[in-house]
Structure formats: structure tokens, C-alpha cells
Chain A
Amino acid sequence: MTGVELILLLPLIVLSGAAVAVMLAIAVRRNYLAAFLLTLLGFVLTIMAVALSPGGPQRNVTALFVFDDFARFFIGLITGAGLFVAVLAFDYFRQQRGQFEEFFIMLLGATFGCAVLVASRHFASLFLGLEILSVSLYAMIAYSRDREISTEAGLKYLILAGVSAAFLVFGMALVYAQTGALEFSRMPYITASPDEPLDIIVLAGFGMIIVGIGFKLALVPFHLWTPDVYQGAPAPVTAFIATASKGAVFALLLRLFAQTDVAFYPPLYVTFVILAIASMLFGSWLALLQNNMKRILAYSSIAHLGFLLVAFMGRGHIQSTAAAFYLTAYFVTTLGAFGIVSLLSPGERDAEWIEDYRGLFWRRPFVAVVFSVMIFSLAGIPLTGGFVGKVLVILAGEQAAQWALVVVLVTASAISLFYYVRVVGIMYMPAEAGGADRPALPGLSLQGGGALACLTGLLVLLGVYPGPFLDLVRDMVTTVYAGVLPR
């Protein structure tokens, strides 16, 4: 391994080093604040390492990793999400009884798994990254010891992730048995021989890989326990699953099917179209029936992944740019929304019922306004990042001539407006008299308020002045096609 390769690997080295450092610090002396600060330091150093590392297309490190601009962009995004989740978790767990220092080790580990995932170019690193992420998440989801639903959610996620990993790895084995390829770049390429049908075993292998990824992204036939997991997990963990975990798997999907165009083989292509349509419609429709804020946001995230798949259905610079921009806006919004749920949660239970938000504006005007901005962005109202993202995705779908998908996207967005408006409306209703049975709202800490203000500012900036960021995304993300597509 050369010096350049070590420098390229630096983000991964720093992240894993930070996890070990926090573990050792806890072994020497338990201190919640110190563990939190060390974690923050680890995340900040990782972001610096990503920013300073030499970019460009096709920076391969061994057979396992590639640190091109695509990987740098997504590692930066995911580490940023990890940073915000750490801030949220610090406030959240401080109100509960118990020892929560180890939570930060898990958080660093899960972020490390995500980073491995987006930088992988080989089935081995893909599987390892995914499992590092999953195993850390089992522990994080079940972390609230004194809550029954937390354990239940952890167990459900364990079974779900175990089955999805089995599907994924069996699919890999089939592809390997038939083609002898474990690296993405050596996978079959159908446009090279368009008349020749794909081998049935390879097709089955990729089908099972898609099932495994579908579980991870909570696309509709595979979404069954997702809302339960979102509801039962501690709110900061839910924020992490909805953003970093899904974002990393989606980035992996983009890379895997940029290197091999098997996704555009008709049977698989139709599968993706069906998954996208089902996710958009069912996600939006089922969210209408919920009274639990975490479940509403869970179904909303299912629908959003469906929207993202629309951008995935084409192959080119417009599609990948749209997907990355949409994903960034979704990260900011979802972190903000779950962040508010997390910051409003008193120690005993999460502020998850929609009634908890009645009249929020009259009690906490700042939080209510921030939450409204987040909901508007999820709904795709102009002047927010979500709107620009949605426009880009529609353009990408139009470019790929996927009219059916675009129509469903617009329909699903219209349906989703109903529950978004309901959530916003209830916050501005007058708080009813005698609401004393409601638990008192915890005070907003300086770092919590700062994080919310920061996310809101980012979101409005993305919505009002997206130009510079859009250029950055286009330059960085399209490196995924280096050596595959002519520019």
C-alpha cells in the first residue's frame, strides 16, 4: 500500500480510530460529556479528511475501495448526518437514566459502515460495510433499556436485516458462481451484447440483490416492519436510519448499477419501476392513516425513496445529479424533522403522538416554525430544498421518458399534502385548556437550537440559491460514470 492510498483511506482510518478512542476513553473513565466531545472531534476530523483528500475520478485503493469524488461527496454527507445525530443524541439521552456513553461508539461504527459502503467497489467490502452498519444499528435501536418497544423494534430490525443480508449475499454468490466476478467493474454489461439475453442465474442473482437492497431502503413490498422500527427506536437513531443508512445504500445502488447496466435489462427495469410506483403511492397513502408522528415520517420516507428511484431510472449525468441533490435535501429535512421529535421528547417517552404537537406554536414558536419549514420541504413547497430536489427529479424522469413514473410522482405528492398540512395545522391551533396531562416540554439546549437553526438555514439556502451547490454536486457525483459513459 502506497502513501497516496493511505491518504485516500484517511476518512475511514479517522472514523474507525475515533470509535476506538471513545471506547478506550470510556474504559479509563466514564464521562458522558467527554465521550460526546470525542465523537464530535472524530466527525469533524473525518469531514476535514474528506475535504482535503485528493479528488478526481477512479481513485482505486486495493481491489476493495474507490475514493473518487462520488465517494467523497457521500462520505461527507453521511458524516455530516452523523454529526447532527450525535448532537441530538447528546440532548436526548441526557434526560434518561442509565449509562449512554457507549452509544457514541455505535454511532461512529455505524457511520464507518456507511462510509465503507459508499466507497466499495467489490462485493466483499459491500457486505462488510453493510453488516458493520446493521450490527451497530441493532444495538442503537434497542438502546433505551427501560422501554419495551425499543427492544421489540431492535428484534424486528435484527430479523429484517438478517433476512435482507442473506438475500443480498446469496445473490452475490449466484452472480459470482456464473460470472466469476466480485468486482463491480467486472460485472456483466448488457449493452455490449444487446441481443443476447442475460443468463438466468445472473438474473436471479441480481434479483436477489435488489430484494436485499429493497429491504434496506424500505421500498414497498419490503417495508412491513419499517414503521415499527422507526417508532420503537430512540428518535435520534430513527433520524440516523432514515438518513445515513438509507443514503449510503442508495449511493451504493447508484454505483453498482453505474458500473454494470444490468438494471436496464427489461425484467429488472420493470421491477424497479414497480417498486418506485408502489413505494410512492403506498407510502403517501398509508401516512394519511397514522396518528403517530414517527410513523407519519416513516411512511413519508418510504414515499421519498420512491421519488428517488425515479431519478435512478435513467442513466446519465442529469439523473445522478438529481438523485444526489434530492438526497441532500432529504437528509437535511429528515434530520430536522426527527431532530425536533428528539429535542421535544421528555425523558419518559418520545414526543411521538400527533396530539403532543397541538398548539406547539404558542408554546415554542421557534421550534414550530422550524418544523413547518421542514414539513414544507418534505411536501415540496417552493423556496425550500425539497422543492428544487423534486423539480430536478421530475426533469430527470422526463429526460428518461418515464411518463408513468412522473405522473405517479405528482399524484403521490398531491396525496401527501393532506397529511403534511394536517401536521402543520395542528401546531398552529390554540392549545386547549387543561392540557396538563401532557408531559412538560424539555428546554431547548444551545447546541440543539443551533443544530436546528443550522439545518433550517441550509434548507432555505438550498431552496433559494441552489446554483453553486448544484454545480458542486454535478462535478463530484458524475465521477461515478468515469470510464463507463462518454461525457
Chain B
Amino acid sequence: MATIPIHYGLLLAALLFVVGLVGVLVRRNILFILMSIEIMLNAAGLAFVVGGARWGRADGQVMVIIILTVAAAEVAVGLALVLRFHGWFKSLDADRASEMRG
């Protein structure tokens, strides 16, 4: 099997990361913002997989599993907050969260 050059993998990960970041900045729906953050985290996971493959060690893969676990915990709390938010504002528009300014 031909090996893929390491830079291609990192480039793909960076692309995914940018897609996620643009999503966070552009999207106004909180659910989509949370999903964009997940994309950013998974982009980092992909970069760890590439690194692990390059060095032939397992610690990159271990980091991916840690990232997945942590992302799941974050989303669990995050969705609870989104529910509360919907209860208050009857909408998922992040721009409605503008009680505080300055």
C-alpha cells in the first residue's frame, strides 16, 4: 500500500479545523455552533492520528480517544444548557443572548 505523505493529512486536518471555525463564527443557531466545535475537535483528532502514524506509536491514538471522550462530556453539558436556553428565549438563535453589553 502506498503511504500518504504526512503533509496531506495535516492539510486535510487544517482544512477541517477552518471549516469548523468558520461555522462557529458564521452560524447563528446554537446547535450548529456546537456541531462546528465538534468538527474543530475532530480535526485535532485527525491530526493526532496522522502524527501517530508518522511516528509509529500508539500515543496519538490514545489522544484521539481522550478527545472523543471529552467532547462527549462537553456536549452532554452543552445540550442541557441549550435546553435551558430554549426554555428562556424560545429560540436557538445565539444573537438572542445579548442581555449583557459593554
Interfacial residues, chain A to chain B (CB-CB below 8 A): 123-124, 127-128, 131, 134-135, 138-139, 142, 145, 148-149, 151-156, 158-159, 162-163, 165-167, 169-170, 172-174, 176-178, 180, 182, 201, 227-228, 231-232, 289-290, 292, 295
Chain B, residues 41-57, CB within 8 Å of chain A (1/0): the string is 10111011011001101
B81 cross-chain contacts in A, Cβ below 8 A: 138, 142, 151, 154-155, 158
| Chain B residue with Cβ nearest A294 | B100
Q: Which of A139, A152, A169 contacts B77 (CB 8 A)?
A: A139
B77 cross-chain contacts in A, Cβ below 8 A: 135, 138-139, 158
Interfacial residues, chain B to chain A (CB-CB below 8 A): 6, 10, 13, 17, 20-21, 24, 30, 33-34, 37, 40-41, 43-45, 47-48, 50-51, 54-55, 57, 59-60, 62-63, 66-67, 70, 73-74, 77-78, 81-82, 84-85, 88, 94, 97, 99-100, 102
Q: Which of B20, B60, B67, B88 contacts A148 (CB 8 A)?
A: B88
Q: Which of B6, B45, B82 contacts A177 (CB 8 A)?
A: B6
Given A142-B81, A166-B37, A173-B51, verify A131-B74 contact (CB < 8 Å): yes
Assembled-state Cα–Cα distance A155/B33 (Å):
11
| Shortest Cβ distance from residue B48 to the other chain A in the assembled complex, whole angstroms | 5
Is B50 a contact partner of A177 (Cβ separation < 8 A)? yes
Assembled-state Cα–Cα distance A229/B63 (Å):
30
A176 cross-chain contacts in B, Cβ below 8 A: 47-48, 51, 59-60, 63
| Chain B residue with Cβ nearest A156 | B97
Is B99 a contact partner of A180 (Cβ separation < 8 A)? no
Q: Which of A151, A153, A178 contacts B88 (CB 8 A)?
A: A151
Assembled-state Cα–Cα distance A151/B91 (Å):
13
Assembled-state Cα–Cα distance A131/B82 (Å):
19
Given A155-B82, A170-B44, verify A177-B70 contact (CB < 8 Å): no
A290 cross-chain contacts in B, Cβ below 8 A: 102
